[in-house]
Structure 1
């Protein structure tokens, strides 16, 4: 009987220690939120055309704010998963890193990093999941959804995006050169 009691106590202690270690591994490394500043894409685009340029560069801060705004509109990732905070960082070769804090079943905090490949699919910038990890421990990338950033929806109708590329310096948005009629419409609308 003593051996059975000892084995039971040892099992309870092992489960408790394992739970504490697991909690320490998955909890967020830093406090993140979904607060964002609105990005005035329309005014940036109009200024770009006034300067006779066809390229708009969005800073990492602009991209972070646009992505957070998109998530803040619907922070529920799944039935029992709420996104409580995020930070987005531009990487080389059209990649974007997202540090995300989640709350599972309204109780368990989880911090993870997801790396996306950016792809322009008009009128949205789509971030396709490439890899995911919790504190460096890899997770299956196919368990996470792509993120859609409604970049083209904020622009005037005559302004059309041709391509989007990024590096660590910023997100470069290349526009199609407007026709003479589109320019007249754009300038006349000011």
Structure 2
């Protein structure tokens, strides 16, 4: 009987150590938030006029703000996981977000989310393709964000609209056209 109790205590201790280790492993490595600044294309119009091209280039921080705004609107995932912070890194049409998550309103988790990006007029659509916590991949059944949609034409002057998009290494180039509605 004493051996069984000792075995059960050792098993409980091992389980507690494993749970504590997993909790420490999953902790966020950096403090992130969902604060963003609204995009103002009007500041870029002077550059567009000077270059005589109907193009606007958005920098990585500007795209980051657009995506954080879209993410803030749907920060809850299945009710038990909430995105509390993010920072996006652009690399062509594959984007990565370092995120802070809150599981069951109690446990903080740091993760890296991978996204595939496409232009489907009138939206830039950002689709979650994978999740990693440090180096460990997480099955998509456990955590999946709904696609983020950013309506870029909402940021354009009234007569201009986005015709096409080029995804650059650290930014996005918008090719504009005159929209007659």
Is the deviation greater in 107-116 or in 161-170?
A: 161-170
Residues of 2 paired with 1:37 and 1:154: CA distance?
Answer: 13
RMSD between aligned residues: 2.2
Q: Tell me if structure 1 keeps the 8 A contact 2:39–2:155.
A: no
Asked if 1 retains the 8 angstrom alpha-carbon contact of 2:58 and 2:173, the reply is: yes
Assess if the C-alpha contact under 8 Å between 1:124 and 1:153 holds in 2. Answer: no
Q: Structure 2 CA distance, aligned partners of 1:137 and 1:5?
A: 34
Match of 2:124 in 1: 125
Q: What is the 5 A alignment of 1:88-167?
A: 88-91=88-91, 93-141=92-140, 143-145=143-145, 146-167=147-168
Deviations along 1:9-50, one digit per CA (max 9) or x if unpaired, are: 101101111101111222211111111222113x14643553
Q: Could you tell me which residue of structure 2 aligns to residue 85 of structure 1?
A: 85
Instruction: Give me the TM-score of the superposition, normalised by structure 2.
Output: 0.87
Matches within 5 A, 1:8-87: 8-41=8-41, 43-44=42-43, 46-47=45-46, 49-51=48-50, 52-87=52-87
More strand by share: 2
- Runs of 5+ consecutive residues of structure 2 not aligned to the other structure: none
Q: Deviations over 1:64-114 (max 9, x none)?
A: 1111122223422331221110001111x3121111111011001111111
Unaligned runs of 5+ in 1: 183-190
Write 1 or 2 for the structure with the bigger share of helix: 1
Aligned pair count reads 178
Q: Structure 2 vs 1, CA of residues 30 and 159 (structure 1 numbering), >3 Å: closer, same or farther?
A: same
